[in-house]
Structure 1
Amino acid sequence: MRPLREHQSEAIRLLRLSLAKGNKRPMLQAPTGFGKTLLGAAITQMALDKGNRVCFTVPAVSLIDQTVEAFRAEGITDIGVIQADHPGTDSMARVQVASVQTLSRRMFPGTDLVIVDEAHQAYKTVFQWMANNPKLPFVGLSATPWTKGLGKHYDDLIIAATTADLIERGYLSKFRVYAPTHPDLTGVRTRAGDYAEDDLAEAMSKPQLTADIVSTWMRLGENRPTLCFAVNRAHAKFLKEEFERAGARTGYVDAYTTRDERQQLAEDFQAGRVKVVVNVGVLTTGVDWDVRCLILARPTKSEILFTQIIGRALRTAEGKADALILDHSDTTLRLGFVTDIHHETLDTGRKKESSSGQRAKPVKAPKECPSCAYLKPAGVHACPSCGFAPEKIEEVETIEGELAQVKGKPKTFDKATKQRWWSGLLWYVDTRGKSRGWASHTYKDKFGVWPRDLFDHAIEPDGEVRNFVKHKAIRWAKGQAKKQEQAHAA
């Protein structure tokens, strides 16, 4: 078995302490990047070393083979699978891997320890198993153990590291969040604590919002490998069509996508043959793709779902400086950054209070930069992205009897940046048949001034210039289409 990292070793130490205190149902919080599979294998091996049997439960049949392969890679080979017609079925093996769905239709296996993966999903089957076997130890594993009432079934929360800890130690990627558009959720109802899917899909499928999602990615996405989270299948397919219409090769995943199709899509994504993958709630767990940009087009009130989604972009990778989050849902503005979401205890169904007996203060929401839509932490004055800092003066000033609104200072660009853009635009003139006038007007669209005192030297444009050019072309095409519609209507 691979050596454990410091936070994994600390989790094992705290787990042993919890069990020694008499707790039978501890919950281990293991955020994205913690190495939950290795942690689960280490706990399993710890039980095997004592001569005990282990049952490891997963939330879906599709994760059984993945778990078995991961355990075998760590040297745990005495494994059986509880699943009809599975070639790995072996009731005599000391380690059994089963899906919760399979267990709901069978008798619970004889075992000395149960490890429940993704325990925040709070399956009734697991709770029934607990109730029928009060002396049998259960260990829950979850990145987000904050489900309401989970503390009625588990008796201890073990936090060896948080998302913020893992980012600080370099095990997770830093991230930037932009809120380019704000959906109108007026009239969207709430069901089971989150937005009603049918209402939400209608609100998020408005053509202008969908166009903004695509054009923003073209402008800000830096051509990064991207996951996009949609509301439902219709919304996801609509987004896929819009991305492909804009020239971005796009994949699609939902609950009905086969394992082979997912594997092929993962390979295409890794190889760069697919730039954007739009999905409907199926890539929130068990995915270790190299995601460098994430589009949140699915508003949620759930801290659990929000954290699971953002976690897909936080894995580190070679050459990855940070993750880019394009939040078109206002979820970050409502819930805060994922690094701000933290709970010290399991939820027992009662109103949460701090250790002093007073209700815990809510986390201050981030603020949107009015210049570039970057979300900055509360209390940060100057925008870390564009440098814009609101003037701390009166909002109006008197000039000859008239009131004039005071605006922030415009964003400035150095000459090297302007030269890079001008040279990139001249490349389009030399290689794509564009006119010099087109290059000059595109430059003015970007910088607000005409290109002056710059060298006429064409170089191949970078992703930022290409995306801006594509964004402008899409905007022009849509304007032409609108004019034609108006002409026909007249």
Structure 2
Amino acid sequence: MLAPAHSNIILRPHQETSVETVRQKMRDKHRRVILVAPTAFGKTECAAWIIQQSLDKGARAWFIVDRVTLINQTSKRFYSYGIDHGIIQADHPLTDPSKQIQIASAQTIARRSFDYLPDLIVVDEAHCEYQAVIDLIEKAARARVIGLTATPFTPGMASHWDALVNGATVNQLLAKKWLTPLRIKACVTPDMQGVRKKFTGEYEEEETGQRGITIIGDVVQTWVEQTRIHFGKAVKTIVFSPSVKHGEELCRQFAEAGYNFQQISYLDGSDKERQDKIDEFSKPDSAIHGLVSCAVLTKGFDVPDVMCGISCRPYRKSFSSHIQEMGRVMRVAPDKEFGLWLDHSGNSIAFADDTAWLYEYGVASLSDAEKRDSTVREPTEKVRREHFCHNCGMKLEPGIDTCIGCGETRRKRGEIEIVQGELIDLDITTKAAFEPRKGLRAKCLDDPRSVWNAALAYCLSNGRKGEDASRKWAYGVWRGIYPSSKLPCGLYEITCEPSRVQVDEWQLVEREVRRFRKDSQRRAA
């Protein structure tokens, strides 16, 4: 077991394992290693432990945050760990180039030239790629580099990092009660048909905001009703808004209903004004019921007692933004049994299968990861029918035949009717998202990724027409087992691991191949 370098940095077992894996990757000559782990995993604690080790060895280390407003927050955490440091920022009172440890923002790095370079670089929120940071890493060719992120889905990341370490999955942290589960409700959403798209493929913000304004009455009413049902009162809430005008109208209508919601956005008059609102919101007895966020707070925001999140900003591609937003409500806090997620964007439906896969398995590779943010997803009725309670809208839990929200019995396939505007519950688990063919009962069916790996292993070892043909064959086998599902983005190209195939998985694939051949022979006859 790794011994903590400072009495205030005591790593949990999963953090110790991750730190040692990162260090082993570097011993194996991987200079740039990215640590992928969900919100509340403790990525900063892991980085601080490694930085403290480098300090003891006399090395110079830089910790780079993705915006200036996180400098002071990170500095406070480092001091709480007992790590003395300087800050690279103009006129900052803690500026001291003689310190071995420095905290800097990507923006400051872009504006400065340096006569000295670090031996270790830690990049927080590494999915927010800045050219200045990429250039620094290239220039400091001898420095070891660690990236920290929960969502490594930015196109191009695979060319900037040498190795990936999965720290833990969301489901693993939920099982250990180091994350709070979400109850997700898909609510009334605006009509997005015909909305203009930006060059990135995402919806244009102002027009999206205008469409969203038409349902703000439903947003406020739903929040009042659902917080009363689940918590008995109004609770701390964060809202993700598509535009400043939309956020202003939200705050106005919440105020008319008797609640204090304050907007923070990229148009705030000053960093202090925004921070004052966040500081007040962070108080246990805050006078602010909710913060409405426009293009901020998807990362680096740590208020654990937020009980409810409202999603009002639809995404077509940005799976990472959806995951980051939900993570703001999943931190643990005293007496917090669950977080409530009210989805007025359709994102929970559009990204349901990808979310289930990520929560269960983590990230397979960076090439896989970046494809998740380059593929358009749209909410579908199929996902609604398979994942949601038809009656009240509460999340359908796996393996339970009654809804936890209303007690309604889960309906069989083909019996569910969808009513426009009703609340529907989402089940974000692989068991619900990847349902095997009726009649199949093997235990390994609960692990569709392992079944895919087994199908790949079988077809690659028995195919005679090359790898491409074998992968197509394997996909046909897998789709025969899970006929209503598709592989999440990037899994088709994943490297096969034959050594991990279990006997029951191999036997399942063999049976499927025999079944297909018999069916083909009957059709031919």
Q: TM-score, normalised on structure 2?
A: 0.69
Matched-pair contact (CA < 8 Å) for 1:150–1:348:
no
- Does 1:293 find its partner at 2:308? yes
Amino acid in structure 1 at the alignment position of 2:111? R
Cα offset, 1:97, TM superposition: 1.1
Shift of the 28–331 alpha-carbon distance from structure 1 to 2, 3 Å rule, reads same
Match of 2:456 in 1: none
C-alpha separation in 2, matches of 1:349 and 1:298:
22
Letter in structure 2 aligned against 1:55: W
Deviating runs (4+, > 4 A) in structure 1? Answer: 348-352, 363-366, 377-381, 390-396
1:262 pairs, out of 260, 271, 274, with: 274
Q: For 2:127, what is the secondary structure of its paired residue?
A: helix
Distance 1:259 1:57 in 2: 19
Contact 2:119 2:142 (C-alpha < 8 Å) held by counterparts:
no
Letter paired with 1:97 = I
- Shifted more, 325-334 versus 135-144: the winner is 135-144
Q: Does 1:102 align with 2:108?
A: yes
The answer to whether the 8 Å contact 1:26/1:140 transfers is yes
Q: Could you tell me which of 226, 233, 237 is aligned with 1:226?
A: 237
The unaligned stretches of length 5 or more in structure 1 are 353-362, 397-404, 408-490
2:15 to 8, 17, 28: 8
1:244 aligns with 2:255: yes
Query: Mapping of 1:57-136 within 5 angstroms?
Result: 57-77=64-84, 79-108=85-114, 109-136=116-143
The alpha-carbon distance between structure 1 residues 394 and 253, as it changes in their structure 2 partners (threshold 3 A), is closer
Identity of aligned residues (%): 34
Equivalent in the alignment of 1:386: 406
Give the Å deviation of 1:395. Answer: 6.3
Match of 2:203 in 1: 195
| 1:227-247 C-alpha deviation (Å, 9 max, x unpaired) | 111001111111000100111
- Whether the 8 Å CA contact 2:262–2:277 is kept in 1: the answer is yes
Instruction: Report SS of the residue matched to 1:332.
Output: helix
Amino acid across the alignment from 1:241: R
Find the residue that maps to 1:181 and give its secondary structure: coil
Q: Of 320, 323, 329, which residue of structure 2 is paired with 1:307?
A: 323
Amino acid at match of 1:224: V
1:17 maps to 2:24: yes
User: Against the structure 1 CA distance between its residues 187 and 261, is the aligned structure 2 distance closer, same or farther, given a 3 Å change threshold?
Assistant: same
Task: Give, in angstroms, the shift of residue 368 of structure 1.
Answer: 2.2
What is the TM-score normalised by the length of structure 1? 0.73
Q: Note the residue ranges of structure 2 that are not aligned, 5 or more in a row.
A: 1-7, 229-233, 373-381, 420-525
AA at the equivalent of 2:293 = N
Give the conservation status (yes or no) of the 8 Å contact 2:36–2:363: no
Structure 1 residues 111 and 234: CA distance shift in structure 2, 3 A: same
Indicate the residue corresponding to 1:39 in structure 2: 46
Task: Report the alpha carbon displacement of residue 261 of structure 1 after superposing the two structures with TM.
Answer: 3.0
TM superposition shift of 1:135: 3.2
Q: Number of residues paired by the alignment?
A: 385
Give the 3 Å change call, closer, same or farther, for CA 85–172 of structure 1 in structure 2. Answer: same
Cα pair distance change 1:117/1:291, threshold 3 Å: same
Question: Is the deviation greater in 221-230 or in 150-159?
Answer: 221-230
Query: Aligned to 1:13, what secondary structure does the other structure show?
Result: helix
CA distance 1:392–1:33, change in 2 (3 Å): closer
Task: Write out aligned runs for 1:326-405 (5 A).
Answer: 326-336=342-352, 338=355, 340-341=357-358, 342-347=362-367, 367-376=387-396, 382-389=402-409, 392=412
